Amino acid sequence: MRDADPKTIYLKDYSVPEYLIDNVALGFNLDEENTTVTARMTLIRNPASLAVGTALVLLGENLRLHRVVLNDANELGEQDYQQTDDALIIHNVPQQHSFVLTIENSINPKANTALEGLYLSNGMLCTQCEAEGFRKITYFLDRPDVMTRFTTTLEGDKDRYPVLLSNGNKIAYGELPDNRHWVTWEDPFRKPCYLFALVAGQLACLEDRFTTCSGRSVSLHIFAEPYDLDKCGHAMQSLKNAMLWDEQVYGREYDLDLYMIVAVSHFNMGAMENKGLNVFNTKFVLARPDTATDFDYEHIEGVIGHEYFHNWTGNRVTCRDWFQLSLKEGFTVFRDQEFTGDKTSKAVKRIEDVNMLRTRQFSEDAGPMAHPIRPDAYIEINNFYTLTVYEKGAEVVRMLHTLLGADGFRKGSDLYFERHDGQAVTCDDFVNAMEAANSVDLSQFRRWYEQAGTPVVTVQQTYDANAHTLTLTLSQNCPPTPGQHHKAPLLIPVAMGLMNADGSVAPCQLQGQQADQACILQLTQAQQTFTFVGLTQQPVLSVLRGFSAPVKVLMERSLDELAFLLSHDSDTFNRWEAGQQLASRIIFGLVGDVQNGLALQLNPIMLDAFEKVLQYPWPDLSYFSLLLSLPSENYLAEQMTIVDVEAIHTAREFVVRSLAEHFQAVLRGLYQRYHLDESGQFDSGAIGRRRIKNICLGYLSRLNAVDIQQWALQQFNSAKNMTDQIAALSDIVNNPHADKQICLARFYQQWQAEALVIDKWFTLQATSKMPDAFQTVLALMNHPAFDLSNPNRVRSLIGAFSQANAVHFHAANGQGYAFLGDQIIALNTLNPQVASRMVGALTSWAKYDVNRQALMKAQLERIINTANISKDVYEVASKSLSPLSA
């Protein structure tokens, strides 16, 4: 049975550690079923702690304890310590300032299916210690504010573990009897134990070098299984790009002689920034034109950059406690977003990030798991690796960048690193540095760290033709969230532009200030008025340019005004946003028609707007492809009070088919113009041409014309790159194509040795909108290639179906909910962290009709009442049943 009353951890209860670990020498005798760990720690009493003479409590789980020795001489007996399920308590520790404690224990990596601590991944031993995995390796002060110098010696069989890796620099190695060998690694920088890493296995290595801005030569090593080594070149170039960018933009230079990345197939996360030895999910390392899409290439570079940037924003300066997780993650996500924008298209990157935020994080903010980017309580910290902490956290950092400007933000970050290098600090320390470096008061801004929910900004305007003034009234409010029913006003930067009726720029001059082409309004009150002067005609407003704050905007707009903005707004984000709002309004009108049984007709404004987009000579074809894309069903659902999944699907599909029919000739022409063989080319032009070609094929495939079906089949058969092949297969799978099963079988046969490609094969079928999708998912659960112990495979099938196939997952008979409940319960004892992620698809039950609410709640209650339910799953499921509880 689960713990009847799992312990809640509160930020308000934080206290400094009573002991610190100055250094530790770790020894591992590696074996997949019986690894012995020896930890020789030098502990000191923390002078900042007020506790005197207290017991030493070291955290540990699932460990077989063998020996405990004090000061290298005094072996303790069982009467000298107490073992619990999660700790080793030593009551009578020496009274001197420092002492040495040696602990020997053993663990079974093969049995560790939770993939936390030391575990087996496809024959390779590897670790994942964030957030609390190190306690599954040995007894330790497993908390981020205990920063320690690590020296690690690994010993193992030379045939099974020819490569032995850990953090820092390799300082010694040697041979041992019985075909064994050893390697010692030393990390000269203090770090919390969550940044510890170990990898041992049969690995091949791609090597390169990078010369830093000060002239130091750094060795770069990417390790992968031998048959994957030819897919590591893009990751290596991405790493060098990230290292150069961080020097140029932030002045941050790498600090070790060696930087290593290891690709592993079984991994709960995307990647991990362990000091000098990053462990990565293979998904974010391996790429070859025939196995990885353009999307994969861009995201690999982004994730490589993210983990590298953590060397300063997370490693050199880390978080004091796990409530401060956004300190490192929000800042680093912002940095990787800017890096990707600089390397690809700023407009496209911004839109993709905001689209994901509004589709998924806004939903999280509106649900029972809503929390501030700095939570104030948790039961299981793994449940707070959320979009709120990461993506909304990045938006909060971006607002600081907007308010302070690029130069002011750089001054603030420089001061932050200068003040806190080598320390474990808080979100307040970050804001304090920004404040001090720029001599500004950010007291009100700090509320972004404390308040949950998505603020709503209402915009009202009054134009005075005689005075040539525009009065803008902005008001803000934030809906109640669990435990927070009343919210104080936030500091919200609202980037603004004004346009004349002919599309030209109107002067943006606030009363008493100089005119400019744009401005940033600082909304600080519940309601605030701003007056623009010098306007000889009523302007059209461009509000929240660049998505300058993570808020929803309520503003009366006609369809004609939205179409005007789509044609004329100089802000790339707001131009795209106008098109999304226009399409959403029209689709929601059709949703009403579906619900009322009326015949569907497409508003001619939509046709006119789409035609103008098609006719414009866009220099950035990737941006052009986004302008041609309709809002997703998930995004549309997020905007409804009570979601009608069938009506949304029917209305959106009607718009897609109508546009395809009306613009068939233009779409055919664009497809043929850009249907080129540019495999292996990943410049922005080639990527843009593939995006346009494939979005046009997607529209045309809805027509079910014989020649278009042949186009899709021909592209599938002849494609030499994964972007084109998977796009064609998607069109075949999502339409009544005669060769669907043949193509799926051929694709599997072609790529069955490539796990990441087979993940795509599972996802395509799991997200198909065709009537047989659910039965297909059930059948795939029994496919020989499906493995419930592999997080990537679970996400590709179960996660994709429950999170990206609304029309089938939310079937009125509840079969999708029951299926997910079964899988969560099966995953619970196998991998609680992955299981808890799957619960998310059930947490928004309050947004659906009464029948679906009952069916979803029944599954949540079933999960909670399952014997041996993990605290990971229990926390999410139990909180989900009380959407606005205190």
**β-strand pairing of 519-523 with 317-319:** unpaired
pLDDT digits (tens, 9 = 90+) for 393-422: 999 999 999 999 999 999 999 999 999 999
| Strand ranges in 225-264 using DSSP code E only, listed in sequence order | 258-264
Residue 585 pLDDT > 60, yes or no? yes
pLDDT digits (tens, 9 = 90+) for 514-554: 999 999 999 999 999 999 999 999 999 999 999 999 999 99
* Residues sharing a CB contact under 8 Å with residue 840, sequence separation 6 or more, in sequence order: 369, 803, 876
Residue 5 pLDDT > 70, yes or no? no
Contact indicator for 539, 608 with CB cutoff of 8 Å: no
Residue 849 pLDDT > 50, yes or no? yes
The structural domains of the chain, ordered by start, are: 9-202 (2.60.40.1730)
With a pLDDT cut of 70, the percent of the chain lying above it is: 99
Q: Which residue has the tokens 């525009």?
A: 470
Backbone angles phi, psi at 103, to 5 degrees: -125, 135
Q: Which residues are catalytic?
A: 307
* Residues sharing a CB contact under 8 Å with residue 718, sequence separation 6 or more, in sequence order: none
Instruction: Return the pLDDT at 884.
Output: 54
Specify the range with the lowest mean pLDDT, choosing from 26-30, 51-55, 346-350: 51-55
Q: What is the pTM of this model?
A: 0.98
Calpha distance 121→790 (Å, rounded) = 9
pLDDT digits (tens, 9 = 90+) for 778-836: 999 999 999 999 999 999 999 999 999 999 999 999 999 999 999 999 999 999 999 99
Residue 885 pLDDT > 50, yes or no? no
Calpha distance 123→119 (Å, rounded) = 10
- As a whole number, mean pLDDT of residues 222-241 equals 98
Closest to 470 in 3D by CA, of 507, 423, 425, 428:
507
* Contacts within 8 Å (CB) and 24+ apart, 819-823: 819/774, 819/777, 819/778, 820/859, 821/859, 821/862, 821/863, 823/788, 823/794, 823/798
Residue 886 pLDDT > 60, yes or no? no
Residue 52 pLDDT > 80, yes or no? no
Residue 146 pLDDT > 80, yes or no? yes
Residue 2 pLDDT > 60, yes or no? no
Contact indicator for 395, 549 with CB cutoff of 8 Å: yes
pLDDT digits (tens, 9 = 90+) for 177-210: 999 999 999 999 999 999 999 999 999 999 999 9
The average confidence (pLDDT) of the chain is: 97
Instruction: Return the pLDDT at 54.
Output: 77
Calpha distance 191→317 (Å, rounded) = 9
Calpha distance 304→301 (Å, rounded) = 5
pLDDT band at 1 (very low <50, low <70, confident <90, very high): very low
Closest to 637 in 3D by CA, of 575, 581, 584, 594:
584
**C-alpha torsion angle, residues 660, 665, 666, 670 (rounded to 10):** 100
Instruction: Return the pLDDT at 882.
Output: 80
Three-class DSSP category at 600: coil
Residue 769 pLDDT > 50, yes or no? yes
**DSSP string spanning 34-103?**
-EEEEEEEEEEE-TT----SPPEEEE-SS-EEEEEEETTTEEPPGGGEEE-SSEEEES---SSSEEEEEE
- As a whole number, mean pLDDT of residues 659-674 equals 98
Number of H helices, E strands in the chain: 29, 31
Cis peptide before 131 (omega within 30 of 0): yes
Three-class DSSP category at 203: coil
Tokens of 539: 């302007």
Closest to 793 in 3D by CA, of 110, 115, 33, 305:
115
Residue 277 pLDDT > 70, yes or no? yes
Residue 426 pLDDT > 80, yes or no? yes
End-to-end CA distance of the chain: 26
pLDDT band at 883 (very low <50, low <70, confident <90, very high): low
Calpha distance 361→380 (Å, rounded) = 20
**β-strand pairing of 423-425 with 9-10:** unpaired
CA–CA distance from 121 to each of 44, 265, 434, 450, 598 (Å)? 36, 6, 42, 39, 55
Strand partners, 496: 519, 543
Helix pair 604-615, 645-662: axis angle to 10 deg: 50
pLDDT digits (tens, 9 = 90+) for 674-715: 999 999 999 999 999 999 999 999 999 999 999 999 999 999
pLDDT digits (tens, 9 = 90+) for 468-509: 999 999 999 999 999 999 999 999 999 999 999 999 999 999
Tokens of 870: 């993990």
User: Edge-to-edge, what's the strand order for the sheet holding 81-83?
Assistant: 56-59, 87-90, 81-83
- As a whole number, mean pLDDT of residues 127-141 equals 98
Closest to 140 in 3D by CA, of 49, 61, 50:
61
Cite the DSSP H helix spans in 357-439.
Answer: 362-365, 387, 393-420, 427-438
Query: How deeply is 837 buried, as exposed, middle or buried, from its count of CB atoms within 10 A (0-12, 13-18, 19+)?
Result: buried
